[in-house]
Amino acid sequence: MSSSTPDQTSISFTEQDLTAFSEASGDRNPLHLSREYARGTPYGQPVVFGCLGAIACLSHIRPPVGWRVTSIEAEFLRPMFLGVNYRVETWAKESHWGARLFDGSMPTASVTVAVDRSLGNETPGIADCSVFERRDAAVLQQGDIIPGLTISGKYACNPAALAAVGARWGATDRLLMTILSWSSYLIGMELPGESALFSKLVLRFQGTARFPATVAYRASVASVDPRFGQIKLDVSLLDSASTVVSGHCWSYIRPMVPEAEEIDSAGVRPGSLAGRAAVLLGSSRGLGAALKGALELRGAEVYGMARSGTTGEVSRTEVGDAADPEALRRLRERVAREHGQLNFLICNACPPILPLRLEPNAAGRIGAYINEAVSLTLAPLAEFLEMLNHSDGCAVIISSEAVERPVREWPHYVAAKRAVETLGCVAALQYPRVRTLIVRPKKLLTTMTNTPMGRLGAASPGLLANRIAARLEDPLEPGKTEILS
């Protein structure tokens, strides 16, 4: 049977779509709904519900009218984001119909339904009201989730909200939408809960069993892969004692955000940077937080700037955007007022890195990323170089080993880091009393790399922070650029 051509070749998600699906499904996981929460993840922005992407695919899957769906399989291959045009491809082969979403050439999600010629599926009953046993996602970590762990409960989606979601995407199979909504609720709210990143579901419908308006469910942890933090659940939906749907769900457990580590004081010369002042852009997490600790351990006064503050930070850290000229001007005036000079300007701020390819669908995002990433270094240099020049100071540019060993899906990141390195080199030429130190770290364990795969082989930011601070103890050559790998 030949592949079919969809009526709509691309789809895009809005913030309103996320809210509507959350109301329908009861999945209130903050990864999808809270911009503030998402900023503290490797994605830097809300992630589209995988099951919402699956529902959006359903209108493009058109098995013969009256045929019964016997199973549904959905895979969520990459996180999806708001405002991106995802291309839809459909296919049909024998008794299977499917749709795939692509970001350019990169597959992001797929849905496959199997059907047979028997009578169509029974439409589920409509509950008088939704049944969501949780309003806040369970907070579990990988150590809490072990094989044999079992949960159970009752569930009914919000019928009016689900109808609105179906109308938005042209999906008419209420049974499949209900199943996908429940799956999203189970993974995002119950198990693993807040730390979930849904990856796959395979569900089978059991013959002619009636699907009730309010369904009982059971989920049991079948296996845990500690290498990647992936769990497999055996799941079932029941009407009284009869199983109506059974199968498996897979999810990654997103690791906890790395805490700021205590800097190793062994070999540190206390007071070696006493009387020095540093401005540190991107100071709240990861390498920035470690640099702050390493400099202060040596006696330096560190004025930090970050987009989000951390509880307990001293008053010298300001919340602001490192590309905002007004915020930078206020910080410069404060440093001049309180300290009188600036010895180190450390440009560490950088947007989250998401995979992109050099394709038409991603060209705008690549350009926007380069512009934002370069601005986070350009604006501080423009604001502070004159002050730095007056005190024979050093500009520290945090780059990456990716400028020497480019990463296939990071064209935007590699281009941005090469650009900021160039700015640092030229800064030392235009301001002859300024020194430039370019740092090219290997992969570090920070918020940006804190994914099940990204953590593999990542080094401690504290070790690098100590190396940088130790290098700053002795002056670099004025008007020159040095590289620290």
Per-residue pLDDT tens over the stretch 34-46: 999 999 899 999 9
How far is residue 327's CA from residue 340's CA, in Å, rounded to a whole number?
A: 18
> What percent of the chain has pLDDT above 70?
93
**Tokens (6 digits) for 287:** 């390498």
With contact defined as beta carbons under 8 Å apart, do 445 and 465 qualify? Answer: no
- Residue 248 burial (CB < 10 Å; 0-12/13-18/19+)? middle
Question: What pLDDT band is residue 3 in, cutting at 50, 70 and 90?
Answer: very low
Q: Cα–Cα distance between 389 and 383 in angstroms, integer?
A: 12
Eight-class DSSP state of 473: T
Please, which pLDDT band fits residue 88 given cuts at 50, 70 and 90? very high
Residues 41 and 449: beta-carbon distance below 8 Å: no
Range of weakest confidence among 39-53, 83-97, 122-136: 122-136
Task: Output the pLDDT for position 63.
Answer: 80
| Arithmetic mean of pLDDT over the chain | 91
Query: Does residue 163 carry a pLDDT above 50?
Result: yes
Average pLDDT (329-355) is 96
* Better-scored residue on pLDDT, 121 or 340: 340
Q: In order of start, what are the domains of the chain with their CATH numbers?
A: 10-253 (3.10.129.10), 277-484 (3.40.50.720)
Residues for the chain: how many in total?
485
Q: What is the pLDDT of residue 319?
A: 85
Please determine, for residue 314, whether its predicted confidence score (pLDDT) is greater than 60: no
Instruction: Specify the 3-state DSSP secondary structure of 246.
Output: strand
pLDDT-wise least confident of 206-215, 369-378, 410-419: 206-215
Count CB-CB contacts under 10 A for residue 154. Answer: 13
**pLDDT of res. 312:** 46
Alpha-carbon distance 35 to 146, whole Å? 31
Buried b (16+ CB within 10 A) or exposed e, 85-95: ebbbbbbbeee
Assess contact for 63 and 69: CB atoms under 8 A. Answer: yes
Which of 161-170, 248-257, 328-337, 415-424 has the least mean pLDDT?
Answer: 248-257
pLDDT reading at 258 higher than 70: no
Mean pLDDT of 265-274: 83
Note if the bond before 192 is cis, omega within 30 degrees. yes
What pLDDT, on the 0 to 100 scale, is given for residue 252? Answer: 95
284 band by pLDDT with thresholds 50, 70 and 90: confident
Choose the weakest-confidence range: 37-51, 80-94, 129-143, 421-435: 129-143
pLDDT band at 256 (very low <50, low <70, confident <90, very high): confident
Residue pLDDT, tens place only, 423-435: 999 999 999 999 9
Q: What is the pLDDT of residue 219?
A: 98
Side chain identity, residue 357: R
Could you give the CA distance from residue 357 to residue 409 in angstroms, rounded to a whole number? 6
Please tell me the predicted confidence (pLDDT) of residue 66: 75
